Structure 1
Amino acid sequence: MTQTQSPPQAHDNHEQARQLRERTHARGIRHFIGGAWVDSLSGETFETHTPTDNSVIASVASGDAGDIDRAARAAFDAFQTWREVGGAERRRVLHRVADLIEARAQEIALLESLDTGQAIRFMKSAAARGAENFRFFADRAPSASDGQSLPAPGFLNYTLRQPIGPVGVITPWNTPFMLSTWKIAPALAAGCTVVHKPAEWSPVTATLLAEIMDEAGLPGGVHNLVHGFGETAGRALTEHPLIKAVAFVGETTTGSHIMRQGADTLKRVHFELGGKNPVVVFEDADLEKALDAVVFMIYSLNGERCTSSSRVLIQEGIYDEFTARIAERARNIRVGDPLDPATEIGPLVHPRHFEKVMGYFDRAREEGATIAAGGGRVGGEGNYVSPTLFTEARNDMRISQEEIFGPVLTAIPFTDEADALALANDVQYGLAGYLWTNDLTRAHRFSHGLEAGMIWVNSENVRHLPTPFGGVKNSGIGRDGGDYSFDFYMETKNIAISLGTHKTARLGVGQAPVVSKEVAEG
C-alpha cells in the first residue's frame, strides 16, 4: 500500500481547488428554479463536506415539498413552449452546453474530486464524457420524434413520438456530474423539461451544470435544480402530480420506495440500481489482460460504481495464482490525495459510507473468508480505505451477495462452466457481467445464460453510447442509451389513416325488432 506524494501538478490542482472552494463557500449552493437562483422557502440549509478530511465545503439550500412544487410548476409552464421548439434548435443549444462543459472541464473535475473524493485522473475523463453525452443526444434531437410507417390493408398507419412532459431526475453521489448529463441530456433532446434532485452527499457540480445550461441559452424553467434529502425533496418530487416520469440512479431499496411513491400518480420510472457483478475468468483466458481488467473494474473510481466487477469467479486450476497476483496489485495501488494526478484511489464519499464498507472486513472474517490484501483504513483522517481482496469465499456469504460499493473484491473458485454460471446468477442483482475466455462457443453460450443486462467478453466496461444500458432483476428497470433513452422520455403515438376501401359494419339501419310486452316491462 502506498500513499502518493505531491508533485507540482498536485500543488497546482490544490491552489485551483482552494480558490474554487472559497468561491463556492462564499456563494453557498442554492436552488435554480424557473431561471433564477433562489433559497429554500423554509430557509433551511445543510452542509456538504470533502471526504479528504470531512471539513465543510459549503452550505446548501435544503429543499422540501414547497420548493419542489415551485420547480415542478416552472417545468410544467416551460414545457408548453419547449415541446414546440424544433429539433434543430434543441440541437444547437445542447451543443452549446457541451462546448461550455469542455471549457470548464478542469473546474468540474477539481470540484468533483473535492466533493466526492474521486481521483482527479478519473474526474477529468468524467467531465469529458459529460460533454460527449450532450453532443450525442444533441445530434439525435432532430429525429427524436421520428416514428415508423406501418401500412395495413385499407390503412396507412404511422407512428410518432412526443415528449412525455416534465420529468424528475434523481442522481447519485458517485460521479454525479457525468451521471447527471447522462439523464438530463436525452430528456432535453426529447423536448421534456426537468426537475433535478442531486444526491445530498455530493451537490456541488450540479450547480455548475445548471450554470452552464443557463449560459448556453436554455430557457428558464426547462431545467430546474432543487437540493435536499431523499425523504423530503426526493419524495415530494416522486409524488408530485405534474411530474410525469422519474429517472433514478442509486440504491435498490430507494428505487422500490420511489416506485411506491409514484404509484398514485402512475409515474413512469426508469431505475439504474445496484449490482454485484461477476467477472468470470476461465483457465483458457488471456490472464494478463484479464488481470488488468479485474483490478481496474473494482479498484478504479474507489470501487464506487454500479458496474464494478465486485465478484471474481476463477476456475480452480488458476485460482491460487490469479488471486495472489490480484493481491499483489491491490497492495501496490496508490491511495491518497484525490487531487494528485498519481493517485489511483481517493477517500470514500462520506463517513457513513466509510463505516459501511469498513464493517465488511469483520464480517468477512466471521464468515470464514481470508483477507488477502487490505482490510483496513488508510491514514488518520478522512475516509480512506485500503484496496481489499477476500479469498476462500463462498457465494452464500454476505460479502458475496451484498453490494459493498467500495474497493473490495470477493474471489470465489469454480469447477466448470455450469458451476460458474450457477454462481454468477445466484445473486439478486443483474446489472453487468464480464467473461474472460478464448473459447468462442463458450463465450456466446455463457453470455446467453448469464442473467445481466450488459455483458462484456474479454473486456472491461467499455461504453458505446448507442447501445442499451441497464439491468435485470434487482438492478433496474428500463434502458438508457441511443433511442432507448427516448423510449422513456417520449410517448409513442399511432395514427391510422383510412384509404377509403374498408367497410364498416352498419348498425341501426334495419326495421326495429318487435319487443314483447313482457320484455318491455321486465
Structure 2
Amino acid sequence: MSTFDENTANAEKFLARFKANTTGHHINGQPYLPADSKTYINVTPSDNSSLGDVVIGTAADVDLACEAAEKAFPAWRDMPGAERKKLLNHFADKIVERADEIALVESMDCGQPIRFMKQAAIRGAANFRFFADKAPEAQNGQALHQDEHTNFTMRTPMGPVGIITPWNTPFMLATWKIAPALAAGCTIVHKPAELTPLTGMLLAEIAREAGIPDGVWNTVNGFGEVAGKRLTEHPAIKAIALVGEGATGSHIMRQGAETLKRVHFELGGKNPVIVFDDADFDRALDAVVFMIYSLNGQRCTSSSRLLIQNGIKEKFLAALEKRVQNLKVGHPLDPSTEVGPLVHTGHFEKVMSYMDIAKDDGATIAVGGERRTDLGAGNYVAPTLFTDANNSMRIAQEEIFGPVLTAIPFDTEEQAISIANDTIYGLSGYIWTNDTGRAMRMAKHVEAGMLWVNSENNRNLPSPFGGVKMSGIGRDGGDYSFDFYMETKNVCIAHGTHKVPVLGR
C-alpha cells in the first residue's frame, strides 16, 4: 500500500464519525447538539464531497457557552499557575498522541498538503508547552523603586474571552490563540471558521480528555453573522481575539463597542519580499517560492509581492518561472503534493477572478493562471506568476490569498521602500541583501509589524507577532500575549517618610 493510499484509508477512518453524526458544539465540558437545530454541509476541497453536517449555532447557543465560561472563570483564575502548567502540558501530550488524526482531518477539511499538516499538530503542542511553562509567572509584574514609595505591578486574568479563528491553518492558529489565554487564567469561547470546523472540535475533545475543568473551554460552531456577532456582543466576554480579514475586524469593533471589549486582530497582508542584486541568489529563490506557494498561498504572512532589483531581474524571474512550473499540485493527502486545493469554491472563484484582472491591468501571466481540471472536482488552481506588473495594479494592492505571486521591478533602495510601503497593509516583509547597512536601513523604513532579513518566516514564540496599518491591532507571542489577556494593576506602597499634604487642619 502506498503512503497516499494509507493516508486515505486512515483519513476515512478518522472522518467516519463526522460523516455519520452531526457535529455540534462543546459547552461546559460536554458535547452539545440543540434539539431541532439547523445544519450546513461541510465539504472537503479535495473534491467538494461532504464531510458531514455541522450545527449552525444560534445566539442562544452562544449565550450558554458564555455563561459556562463566566461560571468557570473564578476557579480557573484562582488555580495556581503551577497547576495550570501541569494541565496544559498534559494537554500538549494529548495533542501529540493524536497528531496523525489531527493532521489527516485538517488536511481533508481545509485542503492543506499533508506534508505541512504533519507539523501543524506538533507545532500546536509546542504552543501549549511554551505558554504552559509561563503560566506560573503570568501574574508577575515589575518593581519600581522611588525614594519614598515603591510601586509594584501585578497582572490578573481579565475574564472569559472570545477567540475567532480562520480557515487557512485552523488547528495551529487555534492553539496559538487559546494557549496563552488559558495559561493567563482566562476561560474561553472558541468559534472556529465555518469552512473548517473539525479540528476545532478535536481540540475541545482533547481538552476534556486532558482534564481541563468544565466550562473553561467552550466551542461553538456556526456563522459569523449570528454566532460570531453574539459572541462579540455578549457582556460576559471581556476581549475578542480574531485572526481573519479586515472587514470582519471592523464588524467586531462595532459590535464590541457597547461593552468596551478589548480586541486583538491579526488581519490581512500584501507582504513584500525585496530581493536586491547582492542577495544570495539560490537562498533568496528558495525563500520566494516557499513563502508564497507553501500552504496553498493561504497564509497571512505569505510574500505575495516580489520586489526584484533590475540588475538581476531577468535571471531571477527565469529561474523563478521554472520553479513555479515544477511545483507539484495534487490531492492534499498525497505526500508528494506541494500545492493542494483552495479551501472552498467561493474562495477558488475569487482567486481565479484575478487572472482576468491581471490581464485587464496589463500584466503578463508568465506561469499558471488556469484551473487544474485534470485533478477532478476539487478547487485546484495552477500556481501562478504575474510579471510586467507595477504596484498600482489590483494584483499588487489586493490580498488574493492563493498561490499567486506578483513580480514588480525596482532600481534603488528608495524605490523599494516606496513600493513596499505603498499598500494599506503592514503585516510582514522579507529583505534579501548581503549589505548589513542596507538591511538595517530597510528594517527601519519598511512599514510592517514583522520583518525577516535573509530568511523566510521563522517563528520565535517569545517574539511579537502582529501587524500595522490595516493588518491588525496588537501582538501575540510570549509576554505580549499575556499583556492582552490580563489586566495590569499598580500598587504603590509608601515608606512612611514622605510629607502628606494637609488641608483644613
- Range into which the TM-score falls when normalised by the shorter chain: over 0.9
Q: Secondary structure at the match of 1:429?
A: coil
Aligned to 1:77: 71
Post-superposition CA distance 1:150-179 (Å, at most 9, x none) = 112321111000001000000000110000
1:185 aligns with 2:183: no
Letter in 2 for 1:177: F
Q: Which 4+ runs in 1 deviate beyond 4 A?
A: none
Is this contact kept in 2: 1:166–1:193, CA < 8 A?
yes
With 474-483 and 20-29 compared, the bigger mean Cα shift is at 20-29
Aligned to 2:427: 431
Aligned to 2:231: 237
Alpha-carbon deviation of 1:28?
2.4
How does 1:321-470 map onto structure 2 within 5 Å?
321-379=315-373, 380-470=376-466
Structure 2 Cα separation of the partners of residues 202 and 131 of structure 1: 19
Is this contact kept in 2: 1:25–1:59, CA < 8 A?
yes
Post-superposition CA distance 1:220-242 (Å, at most 9, x none) = 00000000100000000001111
Post-superposition CA distance 1:455-494 (Å, at most 9, x none) = 0000000101110000000000000000000000000000
Is this contact kept in 2: 1:72–1:242, CA < 8 A?
yes
Aligned to 1:487: 483
1:25 aligns with 2:10: no
Q: Secondary structure at the match of 2:311?
A: helix
Is this contact kept in 2: 1:41–1:67, CA < 8 A?
no
Aligned to 2:499: 503
Letter in 1 for 2:13: Q
Is this contact kept in 2: 1:40–1:62, CA < 8 A?
no
Aligned to 2:161: 167
Alpha-carbon deviation of 1:41?
5.9
Aligned to 1:95: 89
Q: Secondary structure at the match of 1:427?
A: coil
Is this contact kept in 2: 1:368–1:393, CA < 8 A?
yes
Alpha-carbon deviation of 1:42?
5.5
Aligned to 2:196: 202
Aligned to 1:116: 110
Pairwise CA RMSD of aligned residues?
0.8
Aligned to 2:6: 12
Q: Which has the larger radius of gyration?
A: 1
Structure 1 Cα separation of the partners of residues 78 and 203 of structure 2: 24
Q: 1:67 aligns with which of 61, 65, 69?
A: 61
Q: Secondary structure at the match of 2:295?
A: helix
Q: How many residues align?
A: 503
The share of aligned pairs that are identical, in percent, is 63
Q: Secondary structure at the match of 2:265?
A: strand
Aligned to 1:287: 281
Letter in 2 for 1:149: A
Please list every run of 5 or more consecutive structure 2 residues that lacks an aligned counterpart in the other structure: none
Q: Secondary structure at the match of 1:358?
A: helix
Aligned to 1:131: 125
1:222 aligns with 2:210: no
Letter in 2 for 1:55: S
Post-superposition CA distance 1:229-262 (Å, at most 9, x none) = 0000000000111100000001111111111111
Q: Secondary structure at the match of 2:476?
A: coil
Structure 1 Cα separation of the partners of residues 2 and 453 of structure 2: 40
Structure 2 Cα separation of the partners of residues 33 and 20 of structure 1: 22
Structure 1 Cα separation of the partners of residues 138 and 151 of structure 2: 19
Alpha-carbon deviation of 1:27?
2.8
Aligned to 1:47: 41
Q: Secondary structure at the match of 2:312?
A: helix
Is this contact kept in 2: 1:30–1:60, CA < 8 A?
yes
Q: Secondary structure at the match of 2:37?
A: coil
Q: TM-score, normalised by structure 2?
A: 0.99
Structure 1 Cα separation of the partners of residues 207 and 15 of structure 2: 21
Structure 2 Cα separation of the partners of residues 342 and 364 of structure 1: 30
Letter in 2 for 1:68: V
Letter in 2 for 1:37: P
Aligned to 1:520: none
Is this contact kept in 2: 1:41–1:66, CA < 8 A?
no
Alpha-carbon deviation of 1:213?
1.0
Q: 1:472 aligns with which of 468, 472, 495?
A: 468
Alpha-carbon deviation of 1:58?
1.1
Letter in 2 for 1:476: G
Is this contact kept in 2: 1:452–1:472, CA < 8 A?
yes
Structure 2 Cα separation of the partners of residues 58 and 160 of structure 1: 47
Letter in 2 for 1:132: A
Alpha-carbon deviation of 1:21?
1.6
Structure 1 Cα separation of the partners of residues 307 and 194 of structure 2: 35
Post-superposition CA distance 1:77-125 (Å, at most 9, x none) = 0001100000110000000110010010000000001100000000011
Is this contact kept in 2: 1:251–1:274, CA < 8 A?
yes
Structure 2 Cα separation of the partners of residues 47 and 200 of structure 1: 10
Aligned to 1:265: 259
Q: 1:104 aligns with which of 98, 118, 125?
A: 98
Structure 2 Cα separation of the partners of residues 231 and 64 of structure 1: 10
Q: Secondary structure at the match of 1:133?
A: helix
Structure 2 Cα separation of the partners of residues 306 and 255 of structure 1: 15
With 323-332 and 361-370 compared, the bigger mean Cα shift is at 323-332
With 39-48 and 495-504 compared, the bigger mean Cα shift is at 39-48
Structure 2 Cα separation of the partners of residues 358 and 33 of structure 1: 39
Structure 1 Cα separation of the partners of residues 412 and 443 of structure 2: 15
Structure 2 Cα separation of the partners of residues 141 and 42 of structure 1: 41
Q: 2:139 aligns with which of 134, 138, 145?
A: 145
Structure 1 Cα separation of the partners of residues 236 and 33 of structure 2: 22
Q: TM-score, normalised by structure 1?
A: 0.95
Letter in 2 for 1:60: V
Structure 1 Cα separation of the partners of residues 327 and 284 of structure 2: 17
Alpha-carbon deviation of 1:504?
1.7
